[in-house]
């Protein structure tokens, strides 16, 4: 936690860690792993004698060594790529933290090199919640913080567990105390 960022009279209102289910890399990895399973099933159904052998080095001796038996190499390669995507998204999410204090919003990312974004309430123009169908199923959401200055990029916080509560905390921080959570919380 970023306690070293706190000012003397500052307190945490909300600290949120995003869910890995809200990250694009995670779903890319899952999709690649599903694709590899489909390829494996199709190849094993239609090509039951599919065999990878090392013949380049040992062909003149007449020895044939099966490398993977009947398991298709493309399926294994896709599975490894999918696992790498899932592992990367897990690590990225593990080292992300969204914090709201009584005077600012802090976004901290990174393992070794920490990237810290501090947003002052006076610099926030709008805070919106974006919930797709998949987010609704997973009970997640995306928060979009629009800065006051024109030309500055929006800050997108993905994988928020209770996005309306997070939005309400930011809106209360910037002075809109009349906010009412649509979920009733």
Hey, where are the domains in the chain?
Answer: 8-173
Q: What is the pLDDT of residues 62-95, one digit of tens each?
A: 555 454 454 567 778 888 999 999 999 999 899 9
CA dihedral 46, 49, 54, 55 (to 10 degrees): -110
Q: What is the pLDDT of residues 3-49, one digit of tens each?
A: 566 788 888 899 999 999 988 889 999 999 999 888 878 777 776 55
The model scores a pTM over 0.75: no
What's the pLDDT at 183? 66
Residue in the structure block whose two tokens are 């610099």: 123
Instruction: Read off φ and ψ for residue 134, nearest 5 degrees.
Output: -65, -40
Q: What is the pLDDT of residues 87-120, one digit of tens each?
A: 999 998 999 999 999 889 999 998 788 899 999 9
Residue 62: count other Cβ atoms within 10 Å of its Cβ.
7
Q: Is the pLDDT of residue 127 over 60?
A: yes
Q: Are 14 and 100 in contact (CB under 8 A)?
A: yes
Topology at the third CATH level for domain 8-173: PH-domain like (2.30.29)
């Amino acid at each position: 936690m970023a306690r070293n960022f706190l000012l003397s009279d500052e307190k945490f209102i909300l600290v949120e860690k995003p869910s890995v289910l809200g990250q694009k890399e995670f779903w890319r990895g899952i999709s690649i792993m599903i694709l590899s399973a489909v390829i494996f099933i199709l190849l094993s159904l239609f090509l039951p004698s599919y065999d990878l052998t090392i013949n380049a080095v040992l062909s003149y001796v007449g020895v044939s060594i099966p490398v993977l038996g009947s398991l298709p190499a493309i399926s294994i390669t896709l599975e490894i790529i999918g696992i790498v995507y899932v592992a990367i998204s897990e690590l990225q999410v593990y080292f992300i933290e969204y914090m709201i204090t009584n005077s600012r919003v802090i976004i901290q990312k990174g393992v070794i090199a920490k990237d810290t974004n501090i947003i002052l309430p006076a610099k926030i123009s709008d805070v919106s919640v974006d919930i797709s169908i998949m987010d609704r199923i997973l009970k997640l959401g995306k928060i979009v913080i629009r800065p006051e200055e024109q030309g500055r990029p929006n800050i997108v916080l993905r994988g928020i567990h209770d996005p309306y509560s997070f939005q309400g905390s930011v809106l209360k921080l910037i002075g809109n105390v009349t906010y009412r959570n649509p979920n009733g919380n």
